[in-house]
């Protein structure tokens, strides 16, 4: 039996994927490709708009609250290309007043003039993939920028954007706890409103997965995480999600919509999407390879796979997002975003409370400090087989 669907549609975001990077980082399992020759920018922008046009009936009349230009490296697209894209989006979509428009950027691919032009085009938030301020660490993980370029990019972004995010990684090959602490110290001193700090993961389909480097052990990584939390808190950046720290008013609204199980349309090569209706919740995956995407080679043009989320999988998917938030979500959001009664998962919630993984807080669903630390173990309780 499938869920009945939702009476009211959740907030809607748009994700736009750019699948090219200067070169592929050895830890990266995202859909990114080093181009052979020039990036086919004009053809790709045309394909994006055709992809969006085909998707418009599914989101008719719904305002778009946030837009995220991700990748890959969106900052490889020229500033005129970013302007063309955002103009085309505005002409097709009812963007909400004060919509957040985020763009990811590599410090090695931006200049002050480029960032100023992107701000003029309508980008409101820039997210810089710094990863580290240590040149040796950056070289070990294959980044194309150095520490000086990272600092210059942060300064340039701060000069043009009110909202700036720094992406950091820890648990890097050969990294000591002291070296990670220096990265956190530098990031905290930059004065930006948001920092994302997450542990390096070794994924199977990557260069590191094929030849794993020597990385810090679990105890060292736990110490790094604790240092990140304390240092950013001292700088006024509160942890509000497993890997995210922000000043008051600087949380990433786009990611918050993911974690609160909102809807998002994904366009671009390999983009994922989630759309709700009275008929249920459907996930979509766009054609992965840029060449095939440009050829509209999917089952339904750009769509490679479209699948309705089963009733059995809904609770896990909701919790997989909501429990990432420090403080969790309102309990009533579960029914509003899944179409299921909260009573259906109450036995699992009770088990998680008994194990100290979920807070006993009336009116809210939130992981405890222990549950956040061992989030995967907490989430396993909500898997369909475990909950049966």
Q: What is the pLDDT of residues 202-233, one digit of tens each?
A: 999 999 999 999 999 999 999 999 999 999 99
Per-residue pLDDT of 238-281, as tens digits, reads: 999 999 999 999 999 999 999 999 999 999 999 999 999 888 89
Distances (CA, A) of 182 to 88, 167, 214, 345: 42, 15, 20, 43
The whole-number pLDDT of residue 21 equals: 97
Q: Is 264 helix (H, G, I), strand (E, B) or coil?
A: strand
What CATH code would you report for 311-388?
Answer: 1.10.10
CA distance 152 to 145: 11
Per-residue pLDDT of 281-295, as tens digits, reads: 999 999 999 999 999
Pick the CATH number of 12-257 from 3.20.20.70, 3.40.50.20, 3.40.50.720, 3.40.50.620: 3.20.20.70
The whole-number pLDDT of residue 384 equals: 81
Between 311 and 128, the more confident residue is 128
pLDDT band at 1 (very low <50, low <70, confident <90, very high): very low
The whole-number pLDDT of residue 3 equals: 45
pLDDT > 70? residue 119: yes
Q: Is 103 helix (H, G, I), strand (E, B) or coil?
A: strand
The whole-number pLDDT of residue 5 equals: 66
The whole-number pLDDT of residue 241 equals: 98
The whole-number pLDDT of residue 297 equals: 83
Between 6 and 189, the more confident residue is 189
Per-residue pLDDT of 53-112, as tens digits, reads: 999 999 999 999 999 999 999 999 999 999 999 999 999 999 999 999 999 999 999 999
CA distance 12 to 228: 32
The whole-number pLDDT of residue 277 equals: 85
| Intervals of CATH 3.20.20.70 along the chain | 12-257
The whole-number pLDDT of residue 188 equals: 97
The whole-number pLDDT of residue 299 equals: 74
- The tokens of 288 are what? 């992965």
Segment 181-206 shows an average pLDDT of 97
pLDDT band at 387 (very low <50, low <70, confident <90, very high): low
pLDDT band at 386 (very low <50, low <70, confident <90, very high): low
Reported pTM: 0.96
- The tokens of 165 are what? 């995010």
pLDDT > 60? residue 388: no
Between 298 and 97, the more confident residue is 97
CA distance 386 to 375: 15
pLDDT > 50? residue 168: yes
Contact (Cβ atoms closer than 8 angstroms) between residue 188 and residue 234:
yes
Per-residue pLDDT of 31-51, as tens digits, reads: 999 998 999 999 999 999 999
**What percent of the chain clears pLDDT 70, i.e. is strictly above it?**
98
Alpha carbon 25 to its chain centroid, in Å, reads 18
Which of 3-12, 27-36, 142-151, 198-207 has the least mean pLDDT? 3-12
- The tokens of 86 are what? 């955002």
Mean pLDDT of the chain: 95
| Intervals of CATH 1.10.10 along the chain | 311-388
């Amino acid at each position: 039996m499938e869920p009945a669907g939702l009476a009211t549609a959740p907030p809607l975001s748009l994700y736009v994927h750019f699948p090219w990077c200067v070169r592929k980082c050895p830890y990266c399992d995202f859909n990114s490709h080093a181009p052979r020759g020039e990036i086919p920018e004009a053809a790709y922008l045309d394909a994006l708009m055709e992809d969006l046009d085909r998707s418009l009936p599914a989101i008719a009349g719904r305002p778009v609250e946030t837009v995220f230009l991700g990748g890959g490296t969106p900052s490889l697209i020229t500033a005129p290309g970013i302007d063309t894209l955002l103009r085309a989006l505005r002409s097709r979509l009812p963007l909400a007043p004060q919509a957040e428009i985020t763009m990811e950027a590599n410090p090695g691919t931006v200049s002050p003039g480029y960032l100023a032009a992107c701000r003029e085009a309508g980008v409101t938030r820039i997210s810089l993939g710094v990863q580290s301020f240590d040149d040796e660490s950056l070289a070990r993980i294959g980044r194309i920028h150095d520490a000086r370029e990272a600092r210059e990019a942060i300064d340039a972004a701060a000069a043009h954007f009110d909202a700036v995010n720094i992406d950091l990684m820890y648990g890097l090959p050969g990294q000591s706890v002291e070296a990670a602490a220096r990265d956190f110290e530098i990031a905290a001193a930059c004065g930006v409103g948001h920092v994302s700090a997450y542990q390096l993961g070794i994924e199977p389909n990557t260069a590191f997965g094929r030849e794993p480097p020597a990385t810090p052990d679990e105890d060292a990584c736990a110490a790094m995480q604790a240092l990140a939390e304390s240092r950013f808190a001292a700088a006024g950046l509160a942890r509000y999600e497993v890997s995210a720290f922000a000043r008051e008013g600087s949380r990433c609204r786009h990611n918050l919509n993911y974690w609160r199980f909102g809807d998002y349309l994904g366009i671009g090569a390999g983009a994922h999407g989630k759309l709700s209706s009275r008929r249920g919740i459907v996930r979509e995956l766009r054609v992965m390879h840029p060449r095939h995407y440009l050829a509209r080679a999917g089952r339904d043009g750009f769509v490679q796979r479209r699948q309705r989320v089963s009733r059995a999988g809904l609770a896990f998917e909701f919790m997989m997002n909501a429990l990432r938030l420090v403080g969790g979500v309102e309990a009533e959001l579960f029914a509003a975003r899944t179409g299921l009664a909260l009573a259906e998962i109450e036995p699992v919630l009770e088990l998680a409370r008994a194990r100290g993984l979920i807070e006993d807080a009336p009116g809210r669903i939130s992981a405890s400090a222990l549950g956040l630390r061992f989030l995967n173990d907490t989430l396993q309780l909500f898997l369909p087989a475990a909950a049966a």
